[in-house]
Amino acid sequence: MKSEWYKDWFNTEEYINVYKHRNEDDAENHIKLILENVELKPQAKILDMACGAGRHAIILARRNFKVTAVDLSENLISIAKENAERENLKINFTLSDIRQFETPEKFELILNLFTSFGYFETDEENYAVLQKAYNLLSSDGFFVLDFFNSKYLVDNLVECTTETLDQTQILQQRKIENSRIVKRIEIKRNNHSVEFMESVRMFTYSDLSNALIKIGFDIYKTYGDFFGSKFNEQVSPRLIFICKKC
């Protein structure tokens, strides 16, 4: 039976609590770097693949881009909608697995951020997400893929961390197994404990660059973080591709 851990985990309140440190300042840095490296017309159409709680989509909508944001988590989409409505922002939020998402629209920019890639069991399924991005881009459109740097992760793996937030203890245990980074997350509150897992395929720079080129992308820029540092496989924590549709 295939593991579909992401369907349960992303739809929980606990997911938001574990990743609440991902704040708007981070998202602003992400969008700043992206917009400095892509050429977009006013009110360009942008697709946020796996938008989560909508941090990036909302920042882009504030800049008057026409944003479509897709996620498979009903909980996260609901939070994103509430945040957008609070600012009277028009964003087309769509509840869907990105693999099944279809639209006649073409986009000038497509984003896949915060390691929203590599969740599926087979390389064919994972690379289909990149193909989907290519198919939905307009001519000369840009695609941004933000993934972890697998070599850096292996060399700096922290096997166990524990933190306490608002009387909630969060224990995270990590290991590398069958070319995947597997994380077990145990959340304890009021003598009650629940467990979740994450399992993400560990693609190398060569794996991803070759796949992107094979699909038809031109790799325009590669960064090692969202502050604009040049990618170095030995020391960069992130692997950020900015690609152009050929």
pLDDT at 1: 35
As to burial, measured by CB atoms within 10 angstroms (0-12 exposed, 13-18 middle, 19+ buried), residue 244 is: middle
Return the closest-CA partner of residue 119 out of 180, 70, 185, 186: 180
Token pair for residue 70? Answer: 């897709």
pLDDT at 23: 66
pLDDT digits (tens, 9 = 90+) for 194-212: 899 999 999 999 999 999 9
pLDDT at 246: 84
E strand residue ranges, the chain: 45-49, 66-71, 91-95, 107-112, 137-148, 160-165, 168-177, 180-189, 192-201, 217-223, 238-245
Domain boundaries, the chain: 5-148+203-245, 153-198
Q: For residues 34 and 65, is the Cβ–Cβ distance under 8 A?
A: no
Rounded to an integer, what distance in angstroms lies between the CA atom of residue 129 and that of residue 49?
9
pLDDT digits (tens, 9 = 90+) for 113-145: 999 999 999 999 999 999 999 999 999 999 999
pLDDT at 220: 93
pLDDT at 106: 98
Contacting residues for 193 by C-beta, under 8 A, at least 6 apart = 186, 187
pLDDT at 117: 97
pLDDT at 175: 97
Please, what CATH class does the domain formed by 5-148+203-245 belong to? alpha beta
Positions of the chain with pLDDT lower than 50, given as ranges: 1-2
pTM equals: 0.93
pLDDT at 218: 98
